[in-house]
Amino acid sequence: MSPQQTDPAAISDRYEPAAVEERWYPIWEERGYFRADPASSKKPYSIVIPPPNVTGSLHIGHGLNNTLQDVMIRMKRMDGFNALWQPGTDHAGIATQVVVERQLAAEGKRKEDLGRAEFVRRVWQWKDESGGTIIRQLKRLGASCDWSRLRFTMDEGLSRAVREVFVRLWDDKLIFRDDYIVNWCPRCETVLSDLEVDREERDAEFVYIKYGPLTLGTVRPETKLGDTGLAVHPKDKRYRQYVGQTLDIPSVDGTVTVRVVADEAVDPKFGTGVIKVTPGHDPTDFEIGRRHGLPVKTVIGFDGKMTAAAGKYAGMDRFEARKQIVEDMKALGLIDRIEPYRHAVGLCYRCKTVVEPLVSKQWYVNVKPLAQEAIKAVRAGKIKIIPRGWTKTYYHWMDNIRPWPISRQLWWGHQIPAWYCERDGSIHVSRTDLTSCPDCGSPVRRDPDVLDTWFSSGLWPFSTLGWPDDTPYLRTFYPTSLLVTSFDIIFFWVARMAMFGLYVMKQVPFHDVYIHALVRDAEGQKMSKSKGNVVDPLELMTKYGTDAFRFTLVALAAQGRDIRLSDERVEGYRNFANKLWNAARLVLSNLDGYDAAAGRRGKPDLAARWIDSRLQATIGAVRAHLKAYRFNDAAGAIYQFVWGEFCDWYLEIAKLDLYRADDPTRRVATQHALVSTLETTLRLLHPFMPFITEEIWQRLPHEGESIMIAPYPKVVRRRVDPEAEREMAVVMGIVAAIRNIRGEMRVAPGLTLSAIVKPGPEAPSALVSANASLIQTLARAAVTVDPQASRPRSSALGVVGGIEIYVALEGVVDLGAERQRLQKEIKRAEDAIAFGRAKLARPEFAERAPAEVVDKEREKVAQQEALRDKLVASLSWVG
RNA sequence: GGCCGAUUAGCUCAGUUGGUUAGAGCGCGCGCCUCACAUGCGCGAGGUCGCUGGUUCGAAUCCAGCAUCGGCCACCA
Is residue A867 scored above 80 in pLDDT? Answer: no
Report pLDDT for A6: 53
Q: With a 7 Å cutoff on the CB, does A491 touch strand B?
A: yes
Task: Estimate in Å the CA A666 to C1' B39 gap, whole number.
Answer: 33
Contacts of A224 (CB under 8 A, 6+ apart): A209, A218, A251, A252, A256, A276, A278, A325
Q: What is the pLDDT of residues A72-119, one digit of tens each?
A: 999 999 999 999 999 999 998 888 888 888 898 889 888 889 899 999
Q: How many CB atoms lie within 10 A of CB A467?
A: 22
Report pLDDT for A1: 37
Asked if residues A483 and A516 have their Cβ atoms less than 8 Å apart, the reply is: no
Asked if residues A134 and A89 have their Cβ atoms less than 8 Å apart, the reply is: yes
Report pLDDT for A200: 79
Q: Measure the CA dihedral A72/A78/A81/A83, to 10°.
A: 60
Contacts of A293 (CB under 8 A, 6+ apart): none
Is residue A879 scored above 70 in pLDDT? Answer: no
Report pLDDT for A396: 84
Whether the complex's predicted ipTM is more than 0.90 is answered with yes
Strand B contacts in A 215-244 (CB under 7 A): 216-220
Report pLDDT for A198: 82
Task: Estimate in Å the CA A321 to C1' B28 gap, whole number.
Answer: 63
CA distance A632 to A555: 4
Task: Estimate in Å the CA A802 to C1' B20 gap, whole number.
Answer: 15
CA A514, A628, A537: angle at the middle one, nearest 5? 50
CA distance A818 to A377: 73
Report pLDDT for A293: 85
Of all nucleotides in the shown strands, which has a C1' nearest the CA of A266? B76
Most confident of A260-274, A507-521, A636-650: A636-650
Q: What is the pLDDT of residues A688-730, one digit of tens each?
A: 999 999 999 999 999 999 999 999 999 999 999 988 988 898 8
CA distance A270 to A274: 8
Q: How many CB atoms lie within 10 A of CB A599?
A: 21
Least confident segment among A639-648, A681-690, A822-831: A822-831
pLDDT classification of A212: cutoffs 50, 70, 90 = confident
Cα atoms in the Cβ-side hemisphere of radius 13 Å centred on A706: 20
Nearest to A732 by CA among A638, A670, A653: A653
User: Would you give the DSSP letter of residue A295?
Assistant: P
Is residue A7 scored above 80 in pLDDT? Answer: no
Task: Estimate in Å the CA A524 to C1' B50 gap, whole number.
Answer: 20
Q: What is the pLDDT of residues A552-579, one digit of tens each?
A: 999 888 777 777 888 888 899 999 999 9
Give me the mean pLDDT over the A137-160 stretch: 95
Give me the mean pLDDT over the A302-306 stretch: 88
Report pLDDT for A222: 86
Report pLDDT for A66: 94
Nearest to A580 by CA among A655, A656, A641: A641
Least confident segment among A27-41, A143-157, A381-395: A381-395
Strand B contacts in A 631-690 (CB under 7 A): 632-633, 636, 643, 647-648, 651-652, 655, 659
Task: Estimate in Å the CA A578 to C1' B59 gap, whole number.
Answer: 41
Report pLDDT for A326: 86
End-to-end CA distance of chain A: give it in Å, rounded: 61
- Is the model more confident about A582 or about A339? A582
Query: Which burial class, exposed, middle or buried, applies to A840 when counting CB atoms under 10 A from its CB (0-12, 13-18, 19+)?
Result: middle
Is residue A338 scored above 60 in pLDDT? Answer: yes
CA distance A798 to A796: 7
Q: Give the percent of chain A with pLDDT over 70.
A: 94
Report pLDDT for A852: 52
Of all nucleotides in the shown strands, which has a C1' nearest the CA of A206? B77
Report pLDDT for A853: 57
Residue lying closest to nucleotide B72, CA to C1': A393
Q: With a 7 Å cutoff on the CB, does A13 touch strand B?
A: yes
Q: With a 7 Å cutoff on the CB, does A207 touch strand B?
A: no
Strand B contacts in A 496-525 (CB under 7 A): 524
Of all nucleotides in the shown strands, which has a C1' nearest the CA of A8? B36
* Bases of chain B with protein Cβ within 7 A: 3-6, 12-16, 25-26, 29-32, 34-44, 72-77
Most distant CA atoms of chain A, gap in Å:
115
Of all nucleotides in the shown strands, which has a C1' nearest the CA of A345? B75
- Is the model more confident about A542 or about A265? A542
Contacts of A240 (CB under 8 A, 6+ apart): A232
Nearest to A521 by CA among A484, A478, A576, A566: A566
Strand B contacts in A 540-599 (CB under 7 A): 556, 558-562, 564, 568-569, 572, 574-575, 577-579, 582-583, 585-586, 589
- Is the model more confident about A844 or about A290? A290
CA distance A441 to A419: 12
Nearest to A671 by CA among A614, A601, A723: A601
> Coil, strand, or helix at residue A260?
strand
CA A226, A229, A233: angle at the middle one, nearest 5? 135
Is residue A804 scored above 70 in pLDDT? Answer: yes
Task: Estimate in Å the CA A800 to C1' B31 gap, whole number.
Answer: 23
Residue A203 bridge partners (DSSP)? A342
Give me the mean pLDDT over the A165-188 stretch: 91
Task: Estimate in Å the CA A264 to C1' B75 gap, whole number.
Answer: 13
Strand B contacts in A 308-347 (CB under 7 A): 343-344
> Coil, strand, or helix at residue A859?
helix
Of all nucleotides in the shown strands, which has a C1' nearest the CA of A273? B77
CA distance A371 to A491: 11
Of all nucleotides in the shown strands, which has a C1' nearest the CA of A576? B39
Of all nucleotides in the shown strands, which has a C1' nearest the CA of A16? B39
Task: Estimate in Å the CA A745 to C1' B43 gap, whole number.
Answer: 10
Mean pLDDT for chain A overall: 87
Q: With a 7 Å cutoff on the CB, does A392 touch strand B?
A: yes
Give me the mean pLDDT over the A790-815 stretch: 82
Asked if residues A198 and A347 have their Cβ atoms less than 8 Å apart, the reply is: yes
Report pLDDT for A4: 45
Residue A255 bridge partners (DSSP)? A250
> Coil, strand, or helix at residue A799?
strand
Report pLDDT for A2: 36
Is residue A732 scored above 80 in pLDDT? Answer: yes
Task: Estimate in Å the CA A490 to C1' B49 gap, whole number.
Answer: 33
Asked if residues A322 and A217 have their Cβ atoms less than 8 Å apart, the reply is: no
Helices (H), A155-309: 156-171, 283-292
Is residue A762 scored above 70 in pLDDT? Answer: no
pLDDT classification of A42: cutoffs 50, 70, 90 = very high
Q: What is the pLDDT of residues A468-491, one digit of tens each?
A: 999 999 999 999 999 999 888 888
Of all nucleotides in the shown strands, which has a C1' nearest the CA of A575? B39
Is residue A609 scored above 60 in pLDDT? Answer: yes
CA distance A417 to A163: 7
Residue lying closest to nucleotide B45, CA to C1': A744
| C-alpha pair distances (Å), A704 with each of A24, A391, A683, A828 | 15, 43, 12, 66
Give me the mean pLDDT over the A376-391 stretch: 87
Q: What is the pLDDT of residues A51-65, one digit of tens each?
A: 999 888 888 889 999
Q: Give the percent of chain A with pLDDT over 90.
A: 41
- Is the model more confident about A500 or about A281? A500
What does residue A746 show for φ and ψ, rounded to 5 degrees?
A: 60, 45
